[in-house]
Structure 1
Amino acid sequence: MSDAQERAWEELAGFYVIDAPRDAAATSIRPSSTIEPGSVWTRSAPLIAEIGSGQGHAIVHAAQSAPDTDFLAIEVFRAGLARTMLDADRAGVRNLRLVEANAPEVLTHLLPQASLDELWVFFPDPWHKKKHTKRRLVTTEFAAQAAGALREGGMLRLATDWEDYALQMRDVLDAAPDFERAFEGEWAPRFDGRVVTAFERKGAAKGRDIRDLAYRRRAQGD
Protein backbone atom coordinates (compact mmCIF):
# COMPACT_ATOMS: atom_id res chain seq x y z
CA MET A 1 0.00 0.00 0.00
CA SER A 2 1.04 3.61 -0.46
CA ASP A 3 1.94 5.76 2.54
CA ALA A 4 -1.49 7.42 2.35
CA GLN A 5 -3.21 4.03 2.28
CA GLU A 6 -1.15 2.84 5.26
CA ARG A 7 -2.19 5.94 7.19
CA ALA A 8 -5.81 5.43 6.19
CA TRP A 9 -5.71 1.92 7.58
CA GLU A 10 -4.17 3.09 10.84
CA GLU A 11 -6.50 6.05 11.31
CA LEU A 12 -9.81 4.91 9.79
CA ALA A 13 -10.02 1.13 10.07
CA GLY A 14 -11.23 1.38 13.66
CA PHE A 15 -14.47 2.91 12.43
CA TYR A 16 -14.95 1.42 8.97
CA VAL A 17 -13.50 -2.11 9.10
CA ILE A 18 -15.35 -4.99 10.73
CA ASP A 19 -12.81 -6.94 12.79
CA ALA A 20 -14.03 -10.42 11.91
CA PRO A 21 -12.65 -13.49 13.70
CA ARG A 22 -10.44 -15.47 11.32
CA ASP A 23 -10.21 -19.13 10.49
CA ALA A 24 -7.04 -20.62 8.95
CA ALA A 25 -6.43 -17.97 6.27
CA ALA A 26 -5.97 -14.22 6.66
CA THR A 27 -9.12 -13.51 4.63
CA SER A 28 -11.23 -16.32 6.07
CA ILE A 29 -14.10 -15.99 8.51
CA ARG A 30 -14.40 -18.28 11.49
CA PRO A 31 -17.70 -20.20 11.51
CA SER A 32 -20.25 -18.95 14.05
CA SER A 33 -18.88 -15.39 13.86
CA THR A 34 -22.18 -13.80 12.87
CA ILE A 35 -22.49 -10.06 13.40
CA GLU A 36 -25.58 -8.13 14.45
CA PRO A 37 -26.09 -5.42 11.79
CA GLY A 38 -28.01 -3.19 14.17
CA SER A 39 -25.00 -3.11 16.49
CA VAL A 40 -22.41 -2.64 13.72
CA TRP A 41 -24.26 0.24 12.03
CA THR A 42 -25.90 1.39 15.30
CA ARG A 43 -29.36 1.57 13.77
CA SER A 44 -31.99 -0.44 11.90
CA ALA A 45 -31.88 0.25 8.15
CA PRO A 46 -31.90 -1.58 4.81
CA LEU A 47 -28.54 -3.27 4.15
CA ILE A 48 -26.76 -3.59 0.80
CA ALA A 49 -23.49 -5.49 0.28
CA GLU A 50 -21.11 -5.34 -2.67
CA ILE A 51 -18.80 -8.25 -3.41
CA GLY A 52 -15.46 -7.26 -4.90
CA SER A 53 -15.79 -3.57 -4.13
CA GLY A 54 -12.31 -2.82 -5.49
CA GLN A 55 -11.29 0.75 -4.72
CA GLY A 56 -14.82 1.50 -3.58
CA HIS A 57 -15.95 3.90 -6.29
CA ALA A 58 -19.39 2.33 -6.69
CA ILE A 59 -20.19 1.69 -3.04
CA VAL A 60 -18.91 5.03 -1.71
CA HIS A 61 -21.05 6.83 -4.28
CA ALA A 62 -24.04 4.67 -3.37
CA ALA A 63 -23.59 5.19 0.37
CA GLN A 64 -23.26 8.93 -0.09
CA SER A 65 -26.38 9.00 -2.27
CA ALA A 66 -28.51 6.90 0.12
CA PRO A 67 -27.75 7.95 3.72
CA ASP A 68 -30.81 6.09 5.03
CA THR A 69 -29.39 2.76 3.78
CA ASP A 70 -26.44 0.85 5.23
CA PHE A 71 -23.69 -0.59 3.01
CA LEU A 72 -21.05 -3.31 3.34
CA ALA A 73 -18.00 -3.51 1.04
CA ILE A 74 -16.53 -7.01 0.74
CA GLU A 75 -12.99 -7.13 -0.66
CA VAL A 76 -9.82 -9.19 -0.18
CA PHE A 77 -7.32 -6.55 -1.30
CA ARG A 78 -6.30 -4.28 1.56
CA ALA A 79 -5.09 -1.46 -0.69
CA GLY A 80 -8.55 -1.21 -2.26
CA LEU A 81 -10.18 -1.10 1.14
CA ALA A 82 -7.78 1.63 2.24
CA ARG A 83 -8.69 3.71 -0.80
CA THR A 84 -12.37 3.10 -0.05
CA MET A 85 -11.94 4.41 3.49
CA LEU A 86 -10.07 7.49 2.29
CA ASP A 87 -12.81 8.38 -0.18
CA ALA A 88 -15.60 7.60 2.29
CA ASP A 89 -14.01 9.73 4.99
CA ARG A 90 -13.48 12.67 2.62
CA ALA A 91 -17.13 12.41 1.53
CA GLY A 92 -18.37 12.25 5.12
CA VAL A 93 -19.88 8.80 4.56
CA ARG A 94 -20.74 7.11 7.86
CA ASN A 95 -23.21 4.43 6.72
CA LEU A 96 -20.52 2.22 5.16
CA ARG A 97 -18.54 -0.63 6.68
CA LEU A 98 -15.85 -2.82 5.12
CA VAL A 99 -14.71 -6.39 5.61
CA GLU A 100 -11.45 -7.87 4.35
CA ALA A 101 -12.61 -11.39 3.61
CA ASN A 102 -13.63 -14.00 1.08
CA ALA A 103 -17.17 -13.30 -0.07
CA PRO A 104 -18.64 -16.82 0.32
CA GLU A 105 -17.53 -16.89 3.97
CA VAL A 106 -19.02 -13.47 4.59
CA LEU A 107 -22.34 -14.69 3.21
CA THR A 108 -22.35 -17.95 5.15
CA HIS A 109 -20.60 -17.07 8.43
CA LEU A 110 -20.54 -13.31 9.04
CA LEU A 111 -23.94 -12.06 7.88
CA PRO A 112 -27.15 -13.29 9.49
CA GLN A 113 -29.49 -15.22 7.28
CA ALA A 114 -31.93 -13.01 5.34
CA SER A 115 -30.14 -9.83 6.46
CA LEU A 116 -29.44 -8.26 3.06
CA ASP A 117 -31.87 -6.21 1.02
CA GLU A 118 -29.54 -6.26 -2.00
CA LEU A 119 -26.32 -7.99 -3.00
CA TRP A 120 -24.16 -6.54 -5.80
CA VAL A 121 -21.59 -8.37 -7.91
CA PHE A 122 -20.20 -5.87 -10.41
CA PHE A 123 -17.38 -6.89 -12.75
CA PRO A 124 -16.08 -9.90 -10.83
CA ASP A 125 -12.81 -11.43 -12.00
CA PRO A 126 -13.78 -13.22 -15.24
CA TRP A 127 -10.97 -15.80 -15.04
CA HIS A 128 -11.25 -15.80 -18.82
CA LYS A 129 -8.66 -18.50 -19.53
CA LYS A 130 -10.41 -21.84 -19.97
CA LYS A 131 -8.25 -23.54 -17.34
CA HIS A 132 -9.22 -20.89 -14.78
CA THR A 133 -12.99 -20.59 -15.30
CA LYS A 134 -13.60 -22.98 -12.39
CA ARG A 135 -12.43 -20.15 -10.11
CA ARG A 136 -15.33 -17.88 -11.06
CA LEU A 137 -17.48 -16.66 -8.21
CA VAL A 138 -20.95 -17.16 -9.65
CA THR A 139 -21.70 -20.86 -9.38
CA THR A 140 -24.57 -23.00 -8.17
CA GLU A 141 -23.01 -23.00 -4.69
CA PHE A 142 -22.73 -19.21 -4.71
CA ALA A 143 -26.38 -18.87 -5.73
CA ALA A 144 -27.39 -20.84 -2.64
CA GLN A 145 -25.11 -18.72 -0.42
CA ALA A 146 -26.51 -15.50 -1.84
CA ALA A 147 -30.07 -16.72 -1.38
CA GLY A 148 -29.35 -17.48 2.27
CA ALA A 149 -28.07 -13.97 2.95
CA LEU A 150 -30.89 -12.15 1.10
CA ARG A 151 -34.30 -11.49 2.56
CA GLU A 152 -37.38 -12.64 0.67
CA GLY A 153 -37.89 -10.21 -2.20
CA GLY A 154 -34.27 -9.01 -1.94
CA MET A 155 -32.30 -8.29 -5.10
CA LEU A 156 -29.14 -9.83 -6.53
CA ARG A 157 -27.62 -7.47 -9.12
CA LEU A 158 -24.74 -8.42 -11.39
CA ALA A 159 -22.77 -6.87 -14.24
CA THR A 160 -19.87 -8.05 -16.40
CA ASP A 161 -18.15 -7.16 -19.66
CA TRP A 162 -17.32 -10.79 -20.49
CA GLU A 163 -20.07 -12.36 -22.59
CA ASP A 164 -19.35 -15.98 -21.67
CA TYR A 165 -19.36 -15.13 -17.97
CA ALA A 166 -22.63 -13.24 -18.39
CA LEU A 167 -24.13 -16.32 -20.02
CA GLN A 168 -22.81 -18.50 -17.20
CA MET A 169 -24.29 -16.15 -14.59
CA ARG A 170 -27.64 -16.19 -16.32
CA ASP A 171 -27.67 -19.99 -16.68
CA VAL A 172 -26.74 -20.49 -13.02
CA LEU A 173 -29.32 -18.06 -11.66
CA ASP A 174 -32.11 -19.10 -14.04
CA ALA A 175 -31.65 -22.61 -12.64
CA ALA A 176 -31.42 -21.52 -9.00
CA PRO A 177 -34.66 -22.47 -7.20
CA ASP A 178 -34.45 -19.52 -4.80
CA PHE A 179 -34.28 -16.83 -7.50
CA GLU A 180 -36.51 -15.46 -10.23
CA ARG A 181 -35.71 -13.02 -13.02
CA ALA A 182 -36.39 -9.36 -12.29
CA PHE A 183 -36.07 -8.39 -15.95
CA GLU A 184 -37.58 -9.17 -19.32
CA GLY A 185 -35.73 -10.10 -22.47
CA GLU A 186 -32.12 -11.26 -22.67
CA TRP A 187 -30.53 -8.86 -20.20
CA ALA A 188 -31.55 -6.47 -17.45
CA PRO A 189 -31.39 -2.72 -18.11
CA ARG A 190 -28.38 -0.96 -16.68
CA PHE A 191 -28.82 -0.52 -12.94
CA ASP A 192 -29.18 3.20 -12.18
CA GLY A 193 -27.33 2.81 -8.90
CA ARG A 194 -24.16 1.54 -10.57
CA VAL A 195 -21.70 4.32 -11.35
CA VAL A 196 -19.22 3.93 -14.21
CA THR A 197 -15.99 2.55 -12.76
CA ALA A 198 -12.52 1.97 -14.19
CA PHE A 199 -13.41 -1.66 -14.89
CA GLU A 200 -16.42 -0.67 -16.97
CA ARG A 201 -14.49 1.99 -18.88
CA LYS A 202 -11.69 -0.47 -19.58
CA GLY A 203 -14.07 -3.09 -20.92
CA ALA A 204 -15.97 -0.59 -23.05
CA ALA A 205 -12.72 0.79 -24.46
CA LYS A 206 -11.86 -2.70 -25.67
CA GLY A 207 -15.23 -2.99 -27.39
CA ARG A 208 -16.84 -5.36 -24.92
CA ASP A 209 -20.56 -4.98 -24.23
CA ILE A 210 -21.63 -4.46 -20.62
CA ARG A 211 -24.37 -6.87 -19.55
CA ASP A 212 -26.50 -6.49 -16.42
CA LEU A 213 -28.59 -9.11 -14.65
CA ALA A 214 -31.09 -8.75 -11.80
CA TYR A 215 -32.70 -11.56 -9.79
CA ARG A 216 -35.23 -11.44 -6.98
CA ARG A 217 -35.05 -13.75 -3.97
CA ARG A 218 -38.17 -15.88 -4.02
CA ALA A 219 -40.38 -16.14 -0.99
CA GLN A 220 -40.22 -19.55 0.66
CA GLY A 221 -42.91 -21.79 -0.72
CA ASP A 222 -43.18 -19.96 -4.08
Structure 2
Amino acid sequence: MTTENVQVQHAEQAETADNPHRRSIRSFVLRQGHLSTGQARALEEFGPKFCIDYTPNALDLDAAFGRAAPRVLEIGFGMGQATATIAAARSDTDFLGVEVHTPGVGSLLKLIGEQGLSNLRIVQHDAVEVLEHMLTPDSLDGAHIFFPDPWHKKRHNKRRLIKPEFVKQLVSRIKTGGYLHLATDWEDYAIQMLEVLSAEPALQNTATSETGYAERPDYRPLTKFENRGIKLGHGVWDLVFKKN
Protein backbone atom coordinates (compact mmCIF):
# COMPACT_ATOMS: atom_id res chain seq x y z
CA MET A 1 0.00 0.00 0.00
CA THR A 2 1.04 3.62 -0.19
CA THR A 3 2.52 5.32 2.85
CA GLU A 4 -0.05 8.12 2.42
CA ASN A 5 -2.97 6.03 3.52
CA VAL A 6 -1.81 3.14 5.72
CA GLN A 7 -4.61 4.06 8.07
CA VAL A 8 -7.95 3.04 6.59
CA GLN A 9 -10.17 1.72 9.32
CA HIS A 10 -12.58 -1.22 9.30
CA ALA A 11 -13.60 -4.20 11.39
CA GLU A 12 -15.76 -7.24 10.82
CA GLN A 13 -17.87 -8.91 13.44
CA ALA A 14 -16.43 -12.25 14.56
CA GLU A 15 -17.86 -14.51 17.20
CA THR A 16 -15.85 -15.17 20.33
CA ALA A 17 -16.68 -17.10 23.44
CA ASP A 18 -16.99 -14.07 25.68
CA ASN A 19 -18.50 -11.58 23.20
CA PRO A 20 -20.34 -12.69 20.05
CA HIS A 21 -20.11 -9.18 18.57
CA ARG A 22 -16.43 -8.52 19.19
CA ARG A 23 -14.81 -6.89 16.14
CA SER A 24 -11.65 -8.91 15.64
CA ILE A 25 -10.72 -8.69 11.94
CA ARG A 26 -9.56 -5.20 11.04
CA SER A 27 -8.41 -3.58 7.85
CA PHE A 28 -5.76 -1.56 9.68
CA VAL A 29 -2.79 -2.35 11.86
CA LEU A 30 -2.44 0.11 14.71
CA ARG A 31 0.99 1.64 14.13
CA GLN A 32 1.12 4.63 16.43
CA GLY A 33 4.55 5.70 15.22
CA HIS A 34 6.53 8.64 16.52
CA LEU A 35 4.92 12.01 17.17
CA SER A 36 6.98 14.94 15.97
CA THR A 37 7.22 18.03 18.14
CA GLY A 38 4.93 19.88 15.74
CA GLN A 39 2.34 17.11 15.73
CA ALA A 40 2.33 16.90 19.52
CA ARG A 41 1.95 20.66 19.79
CA ALA A 42 -0.91 20.63 17.27
CA LEU A 43 -2.71 17.89 19.21
CA GLU A 44 -2.51 19.96 22.36
CA GLU A 45 -3.38 23.29 20.75
CA PHE A 46 -5.97 22.35 18.12
CA GLY A 47 -7.23 18.95 19.27
CA PRO A 48 -9.78 20.31 21.75
CA LYS A 49 -11.45 22.39 19.01
CA PHE A 50 -11.22 20.16 15.96
CA CYS A 51 -11.29 16.61 17.38
CA ILE A 52 -14.58 14.96 18.31
CA ASP A 53 -14.59 12.15 20.85
CA TYR A 54 -16.10 8.87 19.72
CA THR A 55 -19.47 8.16 21.27
CA PRO A 56 -22.03 5.43 20.57
CA ASN A 57 -24.62 8.18 20.06
CA ALA A 58 -25.66 10.13 16.96
CA LEU A 59 -23.46 13.13 16.22
CA ASP A 60 -25.12 16.51 15.64
CA LEU A 61 -23.08 17.62 12.62
CA ASP A 62 -24.52 21.16 12.57
CA ALA A 63 -23.45 21.63 16.17
CA ALA A 64 -20.04 20.03 15.55
CA PHE A 65 -19.24 22.39 12.66
CA GLY A 66 -21.21 25.40 13.88
CA ARG A 67 -23.16 25.72 10.65
CA ALA A 68 -25.35 23.89 8.15
CA ALA A 69 -23.39 22.90 5.04
CA PRO A 70 -22.74 19.94 2.71
CA ARG A 71 -20.86 17.20 4.57
CA VAL A 72 -18.22 14.79 3.26
CA LEU A 73 -16.71 11.91 5.22
CA GLU A 74 -13.11 10.86 4.63
CA ILE A 75 -12.03 7.47 5.95
CA GLY A 76 -8.31 6.97 6.55
CA PHE A 77 -6.78 10.35 5.72
CA GLY A 78 -3.20 9.29 6.46
CA MET A 79 -1.06 12.33 7.20
CA GLY A 80 -3.81 14.64 5.98
CA GLN A 81 -2.13 16.57 3.16
CA ALA A 82 -4.79 15.71 0.56
CA THR A 83 -7.57 16.26 3.08
CA ALA A 84 -6.33 19.74 3.97
CA THR A 85 -5.89 20.65 0.29
CA ILE A 86 -9.44 19.55 -0.56
CA ALA A 87 -10.92 21.34 2.47
CA ALA A 88 -9.09 24.56 1.60
CA ALA A 89 -10.40 24.46 -1.98
CA ARG A 90 -13.98 23.61 -0.94
CA SER A 91 -14.61 26.01 1.91
CA ASP A 92 -18.38 25.73 1.42
CA THR A 93 -18.24 22.04 2.42
CA ASP A 94 -17.51 20.50 5.81
CA PHE A 95 -15.19 17.47 6.02
CA LEU A 96 -15.24 14.84 8.75
CA GLY A 97 -12.03 12.83 8.81
CA VAL A 98 -11.85 9.45 10.54
CA GLU A 99 -8.37 8.14 11.37
CA VAL A 100 -6.96 5.79 14.01
CA HIS A 101 -3.31 6.82 13.95
CA THR A 102 -2.19 9.58 16.27
CA PRO A 103 0.68 10.96 14.11
CA GLY A 104 -1.75 11.37 11.21
CA VAL A 105 -4.24 13.17 13.43
CA GLY A 106 -1.47 15.43 14.71
CA SER A 107 -0.26 16.09 11.17
CA LEU A 108 -3.71 17.14 9.95
CA LEU A 109 -4.25 19.32 13.03
CA LYS A 110 -0.94 21.01 12.27
CA LEU A 111 -2.12 21.73 8.71
CA ILE A 112 -5.43 23.04 10.04
CA GLY A 113 -3.55 25.49 12.23
CA GLU A 114 -1.10 26.55 9.54
CA GLN A 115 -3.79 27.09 6.91
CA GLY A 116 -6.49 28.48 9.18
CA LEU A 117 -9.02 25.84 8.14
CA SER A 118 -12.37 25.86 9.89
CA ASN A 119 -14.31 23.23 7.90
CA LEU A 120 -12.56 20.10 9.22
CA ARG A 121 -13.33 17.88 12.19
CA ILE A 122 -11.61 14.63 13.19
CA VAL A 123 -12.76 11.48 14.94
CA GLN A 124 -9.91 9.19 16.00
CA HIS A 125 -11.66 5.85 15.97
CA ASP A 126 -12.62 2.79 13.93
CA ALA A 127 -14.65 4.01 10.96
CA VAL A 128 -17.09 1.10 11.05
CA GLU A 129 -18.19 2.04 14.56
CA VAL A 130 -18.35 5.72 13.66
CA LEU A 131 -20.62 4.88 10.73
CA GLU A 132 -22.79 2.58 12.79
CA HIS A 133 -23.26 4.77 15.84
CA MET A 134 -22.33 8.42 15.17
CA LEU A 135 -23.61 9.06 11.65
CA THR A 136 -27.30 8.91 10.89
CA PRO A 137 -28.87 7.79 7.60
CA ASP A 138 -28.80 10.41 4.82
CA SER A 139 -26.49 12.72 6.80
CA LEU A 140 -23.64 12.90 4.25
CA ASP A 141 -23.32 14.49 0.83
CA GLY A 142 -20.30 12.38 -0.06
CA ALA A 143 -17.56 10.06 1.14
CA HIS A 144 -13.88 9.71 0.21
CA ILE A 145 -11.67 6.65 0.66
CA PHE A 146 -8.29 7.25 -0.96
CA PHE A 147 -5.65 4.51 -1.17
CA PRO A 148 -6.95 2.11 1.48
CA ASP A 149 -4.64 -0.68 2.56
CA PRO A 150 -4.78 -3.26 -0.27
CA TRP A 151 -3.71 -6.18 1.94
CA HIS A 152 -2.10 -7.48 -1.23
CA LYS A 153 -1.27 -10.98 0.06
CA LYS A 154 -4.16 -13.23 -0.89
CA ARG A 155 -4.54 -14.65 2.62
CA HIS A 156 -5.03 -11.07 3.88
CA ASN A 157 -7.62 -10.02 1.28
CA LYS A 158 -10.35 -10.66 3.85
CA ARG A 159 -9.10 -7.59 5.72
CA ARG A 160 -9.85 -5.24 2.84
CA LEU A 161 -12.23 -2.42 3.67
CA ILE A 162 -14.29 -2.39 0.49
CA LYS A 163 -16.77 -5.22 0.89
CA PRO A 164 -20.50 -5.38 0.14
CA GLU A 165 -21.65 -5.12 3.76
CA PHE A 166 -19.42 -2.12 4.48
CA VAL A 167 -20.40 -0.31 1.27
CA LYS A 168 -24.10 -0.87 1.99
CA GLN A 169 -23.74 0.69 5.42
CA LEU A 170 -21.69 3.60 4.09
CA VAL A 171 -24.17 4.28 1.29
CA SER A 172 -27.03 4.34 3.80
CA ARG A 173 -25.38 7.40 5.40
CA ILE A 174 -25.18 9.26 2.06
CA LYS A 175 -28.07 11.34 0.79
CA THR A 176 -29.77 10.61 -2.52
CA GLY A 177 -27.70 12.38 -5.16
CA GLY A 178 -24.56 12.21 -3.01
CA TYR A 179 -21.38 10.48 -4.12
CA LEU A 180 -18.79 7.89 -3.12
CA HIS A 181 -15.23 8.40 -4.38
CA LEU A 182 -12.59 5.67 -4.03
CA ALA A 183 -9.03 5.58 -5.32
CA THR A 184 -6.35 2.88 -5.30
CA ASP A 185 -3.00 2.15 -6.91
CA TRP A 186 -3.46 -1.65 -6.74
CA GLU A 187 -5.14 -2.99 -9.86
CA ASP A 188 -6.62 -6.13 -8.30
CA TYR A 189 -8.13 -4.04 -5.53
CA ALA A 190 -9.51 -1.62 -8.14
CA ILE A 191 -11.19 -4.58 -9.84
CA GLN A 192 -12.70 -5.70 -6.53
CA MET A 193 -13.85 -2.15 -5.74
CA LEU A 194 -15.54 -1.85 -9.12
CA GLU A 195 -17.30 -5.19 -8.66
CA VAL A 196 -18.54 -4.32 -5.17
CA LEU A 197 -19.76 -0.83 -6.04
CA SER A 198 -21.39 -1.99 -9.28
CA ALA A 199 -23.31 -4.66 -7.38
CA GLU A 200 -24.76 -2.19 -4.87
CA PRO A 201 -28.26 -1.32 -6.19
CA ALA A 202 -28.29 2.12 -4.56
CA LEU A 203 -25.23 3.25 -6.55
CA GLN A 204 -24.75 4.35 -10.14
CA ASN A 205 -21.35 4.61 -11.82
CA THR A 206 -20.61 8.12 -13.10
CA ALA A 207 -17.69 6.99 -15.28
CA THR A 208 -18.09 7.38 -19.05
CA SER A 209 -15.15 5.12 -19.87
CA GLU A 210 -15.87 1.54 -20.89
CA THR A 211 -13.47 0.41 -18.19
CA GLY A 212 -15.81 1.69 -15.50
CA TYR A 213 -13.10 3.84 -13.92
CA ALA A 214 -13.39 7.61 -13.67
CA GLU A 215 -10.96 10.36 -14.51
CA ARG A 216 -9.39 11.78 -11.37
CA PRO A 217 -11.67 14.63 -10.23
CA ASP A 218 -9.94 17.99 -10.07
CA TYR A 219 -10.53 18.27 -6.34
CA ARG A 220 -8.40 15.20 -5.54
CA PRO A 221 -4.75 16.32 -5.50
CA LEU A 222 -1.92 14.05 -6.55
CA THR A 223 0.10 12.91 -3.56
CA LYS A 224 3.89 12.71 -3.72
CA PHE A 225 3.64 8.93 -3.50
CA GLU A 226 1.13 8.85 -6.35
CA ASN A 227 3.34 11.09 -8.48
CA ARG A 228 6.29 8.82 -7.78
CA GLY A 229 4.26 5.78 -8.82
CA ILE A 230 3.05 7.43 -12.02
CA LYS A 231 6.63 8.24 -12.98
CA LEU A 232 7.46 4.56 -12.47
CA GLY A 233 4.57 3.56 -14.71
CA HIS A 234 2.22 2.45 -11.97
CA GLY A 235 -1.51 2.86 -12.47
CA VAL A 236 -4.01 4.71 -10.31
CA TRP A 237 -7.73 3.98 -10.48
CA ASP A 238 -10.50 6.36 -9.36
CA LEU A 239 -14.09 5.22 -8.90
CA VAL A 240 -16.88 7.79 -8.51
CA PHE A 241 -20.40 6.50 -7.92
CA LYS A 242 -23.59 8.44 -7.27
CA LYS A 243 -26.37 7.37 -4.89
CA ASN A 244 -29.70 6.90 -6.65
Distance 1:43 1:211 in 2: 34
Which residue identity lines up with residue 182 of structure 2 in the other structure? Answer: L
| Residue of structure 2 aligned with 1:85, choices 98, 104, 109 | 109
Q: Which residue of 2 aligns with 1:25?
A: none
| Residue 118 of structure 1, CA deviation | 0.8
Q: Which residue of 1 aligns with 2:16?
A: none
| Residue of structure 2 aligned with 1:200, choices 223, 226, 232 | 226
Which segment is superposed worse, 70-79 or 193-202?
A: 193-202
| Residue of structure 2 aligned with 1:7, choices 41, 51, 70 | 41
Q: Decide whether the 8 Å contact of 1:8 with 1:86 is kept in 2.
A: yes
| Residue of structure 2 aligned with 1:110, choices 110, 130, 134 | 134
Q: Decide whether the 8 Å contact of 1:178 with 1:217 is kept in 2.
A: yes
* Residues 1:158 and 2:182 aligned together: yes
Q: Which residue of 2 aligns with 1:26?
A: none
Q: Secondary structure at the match of 1:64?
A: helix
| Residue of structure 2 aligned with 1:173, choices 197, 208, 217 | 197
Q: Decide whether the 8 Å contact of 1:108 with 1:148 is kept in 2.
A: no
Which residue identity lines up with residue 183 of structure 1 in the other structure? Answer: A
| Residue 133 of structure 1, CA deviation | 0.8
* Residues 1:43 and 2:67 aligned together: yes
Q: Which residue of 1 aligns with 2:236?
A: 210
Q: Deviation above 2 Å: which 4+ runs of structure 1?
A: 201-207
| Residue 204 of structure 1, CA deviation | 2.5
Distance 1:141 1:12 in 2: 35
Q: Which residue of 2 aligns with 1:27?
A: none
Comparing both chains, which one has the higher relative contact order based on Cα–Cα distances under 8 Å and sequence gaps of 6 or more?
2
- In percent, how many aligned pairs have the same letter? 41
Deviations 1:55-103 (A, max 9, x none): 1111111111111111111111110010001011110101110111111
Distance 2:171 2:143 in 1: 10
Taking structure 2 as the reference length, the TM-score comes to 0.82
Taking structure 1 as the reference length, the TM-score comes to 0.90
Distance 2:120 2:132 in 1: 20
| Residue 132 of structure 1, CA deviation | 0.7
| Residue 198 of structure 1, CA deviation | 3.3
* Residues 1:20 and 2:57 aligned together: no
| Residue of structure 2 aligned with 1:146, choices 170, 175, 200 | 170
Distance 1:106 1:203 in 2: 32
Residue 7 to residue 81, structure 1, CA distance change in 2 (3 Å): same
- Structure 2 residue runs of 5 or longer lacking an equivalent are 1-34
Deviations 1:117-139 (A, max 9, x none): 11011111111011111101000
Which segment is superposed worse, 158-167 or 104-113?
A: 104-113
Deviations 1:26-58 (A, max 9, x none): xxxx3xx11011100011000011111011111
Which residue identity lines up with residue 45 of structure 2 in the other structure? Answer: E
Q: Which residue of 2 aligns with 1:57?
A: 81
- Computed over aligned residues only, the root mean square deviation of the Cα atoms, in angstroms, reads 1.2
Q: Decide whether the 8 Å contact of 1:115 with 1:150 is kept in 2.
A: yes
Distance 1:127 1:203 in 2: 18
Deviations 1:181-201 (A, max 9, x none): 111221111111101113423
Q: Decide whether the 8 Å contact of 2:79 with 2:108 is kept in 1.
A: yes
Distance 1:203 1:155 in 2: 26
Distance 1:80 1:199 in 2: 16
